[in-house]
């Protein structure tokens, strides 16, 4: 199905103000944004307009009752031409977005509308895709409830939007994580598997406490026993052991990371043995004591793939980075980086290029 998208170009591109050597993450926004409204049971008024503030009522129900979901994606420069850019498995983001929407009692966005809005926007702001090493155009699709109404019920109206920002690395060092045993991110039957805004808000206070103790992030554990590792505040989690790589199995309390899935498939393609199963903090400690835990790394769209320095548990710090030279994480990271930019053939059909 094809939708009509009205395009209003900016008359004042801000691109020349961008300092490619000093991009940071999430502070600079490209020239345009895509918007489409949900009213009377249908998506209407699809448009691309100059990036700018939204005009909202103070009673906007997303602000009060939290019907707000988002996605994270990246476009990178592709080697096939000087102007080509590549998207990575974008349809997976559209599908996960609709899984979040369903759980939050929000309407589906047709995959074709998601993709058409995305492609039109990226085509228009392609010059914002950094061509520097490690740079990318971060893409933020989101949807929120727009009824101005006080009362707890699903909104009747919504706004779906996509904006983009040129970014450098989200993390620029190996992280120290605290195994979190007091607070929980998600519970069975809850919304942990969605990318709803509240999941991130709920993590801020425990993360701030961990940071006061000198950690960079929390490593969430299951909400009942706090014995089983789940994910960090921003990423999924992998442990590289001597003869296998283990990552917590997906459940209702984990975000099904697209980078996580891609890393698993890439590792298997590269000949590694990957186990998706419950992984306890005790197992990590036992493996480390036995000299069998070689690397820890985390994965996400924003973070890409980053090593962990180690983890803190009950006041004791366990350094892992000292165990080896991060061979597996380096191998899979460069395989995926090369695949994204076209330096490596794509055996999976994951890359969607726009010329
Ligand atoms: C992403 O990785 O894209 C996310 O949405 C997580 C957030 C830390 C930026």
Report pLDDT for 171. Answer: 96
Q: Among the atoms of ligand 1, which is closest to the Cα of residue 301?
A: 2
Asked whether 329 lines ligand 1 (CB < 6 A), one says: no
Report pLDDT for 179. Answer: 98
Report pLDDT for 355. Answer: 80
Q: Among the atoms of ligand 1, which is closest to the Cα of residue 70?
A: 5
Report pLDDT for 315. Answer: 95
Asked whether 233 lines ligand 1 (CB < 6 A), one says: no
Q: What is the pLDDT along the chain (355 residues), one digit of tens a residue?
A: 889 999 999 999 999 999 988 899 999 999 999 999 999 999 999 999 999 999 999 999 999 999 999 999 999 999 999 999 999 999 999 999 999 999 999 999 999 999 999 999 999 999 999 998 889 999 999 999 999 999 999 999 999 999 999 999 999 999 999 999 999 999 999 999 999 999 999 999 999 999 999 999 999 999 999 999 999 999 999 999 999 999 999 999 999 999 999 999 999 999 999 999 999 999 999 999 999 999 999 999 999 999 999 999 999 999 999 998 999 999 999 999 999 999 999 999 999 999 8
Q: How far is the CA of 119 from the centre of ligand 1 (A)?
A: 20
Asked whether 302 lines ligand 1 (CB < 6 A), one says: yes
Range 6-167: architecture per CATH: 2-Layer Sandwich (3.30)
Which residue has the least CA distance to atom 9 on ligand 1? 302
Nearest in space to 70 (alpha carbons), one of 176, 144, 16: 144
Which residue has the least CA distance to atom 5 on ligand 1? 72
Neighbours of 316 (CB within 10 A): 9
- Residue spans of beta strands (DSSP E) within the chain: 6-7, 32-39, 42-50, 68-70, 73-77, 85-88, 136-145, 158-167, 175-179, 217-221, 229-232, 236-241, 245-247, 274-276, 293-300, 304-313, 316-319, 351-354
- CA–CA distance, 324 with 28 (Å, rounded to integer): 37
Q: How far is the CA of 132 from the centre of ligand 1 (A)?
A: 21
CB 311 within 8 A of CB 179: yes
Asked whether 130 lines ligand 1 (CB < 6 A), one says: no
CB 237 within 8 A of CB 248: yes
Candidate of 69, 216, 303 to mutate for ligand 1, largest count of ligand atoms within 8 Å of Cβ? 303
Which residue has the least CA distance to atom 6 on ligand 1? 234
Q: What is the largest CA-CA distance in the chain?
A: 63
Interaxial angle between packed helices 258-269 and 327-341, expressed in degrees from 0 to 180 and rounded to the nearest 10: 110
- CA–CA distance, 310 with 317 (Å, rounded to integer): 7
Angstrom distances, CA of residue 340 to CA of 24, 31, 320:
21, 24, 29
Asked whether 300 lines ligand 1 (CB < 6 A), one says: yes
Asked whether 234 lines ligand 1 (CB < 6 A), one says: yes
Report pLDDT for 133. Answer: 85
Which residue has the least CA distance to atom 3 on ligand 1? 72
Q: How far is the CA of 72 from the centre of ligand 1 (A)?
A: 6
What pTM, to 2 d.p., does this model score?
A: 0.97
Q: How far is the CA of 21 from the centre of ligand 1 (A)?
A: 22
Q: Among the atoms of ligand 1, which is closest to the Cα of residue 257?
A: 2
Report pLDDT for 343. Answer: 96
Asked whether 301 lines ligand 1 (CB < 6 A), one says: yes
Q: How far is the CA of 290 from the centre of ligand 1 (A)?
A: 34
Which residue has the least CA distance to atom 7 on ligand 1? 234
Q: What share of the chain is helix, strand, coil (3-state, %, to 5)?
A: 25, 30, 45
Q: Among the atoms of ligand 1, which is closest to the Cα of residue 26?
A: 9
Q: How far is the CA of 171 from the centre of ligand 1 (A)?
A: 11
Q: Among the atoms of ligand 1, which is closest to the Cα of residue 71?
A: 5
Q: Classify 200 as helix, strand or coil.
A: helix
**Fold agreement between 6-167 and 175-341:** no
Q: How far is the CA of 238 from the centre of ligand 1 (A)?
A: 17
Domain boundaries, the chain: 6-167, 175-341
Which superfamily, per CATH, for 175-341? D-amino Acid Aminotransferase, subunit A, domain 2 (3.20.10.10)
């Amino acid at each position: 199905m094809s939708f009509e998208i009205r395009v209003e170009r900016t008359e004042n591109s801000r691109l020349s103000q961008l300092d490619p050597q000093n991009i940071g993450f999430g502070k600079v926004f490209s020239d345009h944004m895509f918007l489409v409204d949900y009213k009377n049971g249908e998506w209407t008024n699809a448009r691309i307009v100059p990036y700018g503030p939204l005009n909202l009522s103070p009673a906007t129900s997303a602000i009060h009752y939290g019907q707000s979901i988002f996605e994270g994606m990246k476009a990178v420069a592709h080697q096939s031409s000087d102007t080509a850019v590549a998207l990575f498995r974008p349809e997976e983001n559209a599908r996960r977005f609709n899984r979040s929407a369903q759980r939050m009692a929000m309407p589906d966005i047709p995959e074709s509308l998601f993709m058409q809005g995305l492609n039109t926007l990226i085509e228009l702001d392609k010059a914002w895709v950094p061509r520097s090493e490690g740079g990318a155009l971060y893409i933020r699709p989101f949807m929120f409830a727009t009824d101005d109404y006080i009362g707890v019920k699903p909104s009747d109206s919504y706004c779906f939007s996509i904006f983009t920002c040129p970014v450098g690395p989200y993390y620029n060092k190996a992280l120290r994580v605290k195994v979190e045993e007091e607070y929980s991110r998600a519970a069975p039957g809850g919304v942990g598997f969605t990318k709803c805004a509240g999941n991130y808000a709920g993590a801020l206070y425990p993360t701030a406490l961990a940071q006061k103790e000198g950690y960079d992030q929390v490593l969430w554990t299951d909400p009942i026993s706090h014995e089983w590792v789940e994910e960090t505040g921003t990423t999924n989690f992998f442990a590289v052991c001597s003869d296998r790589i283990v990552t917590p199995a997906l459940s209702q309390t984990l975000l099904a990371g697209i980078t996580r899935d891609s890393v698993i498939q890439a590792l298997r393609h590269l000949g590694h043995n990957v186990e998706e199963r419950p992984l306890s903090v005790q197992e990590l400690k036992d493996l480390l004591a036995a000299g069998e835990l070689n690397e820890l790394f985390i994965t996400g769209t924003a973070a890409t793939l980053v090593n962990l320095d180690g983890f803190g548990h009950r006041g004791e710090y366990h350094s892992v980075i000292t165990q080896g030279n991060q061979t597996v994480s380096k191998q899979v990271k460069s395989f995926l980086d090369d695949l994204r930019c076209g330096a490596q053939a794509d055996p999976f059909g994951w890359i969607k290029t726009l010329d």
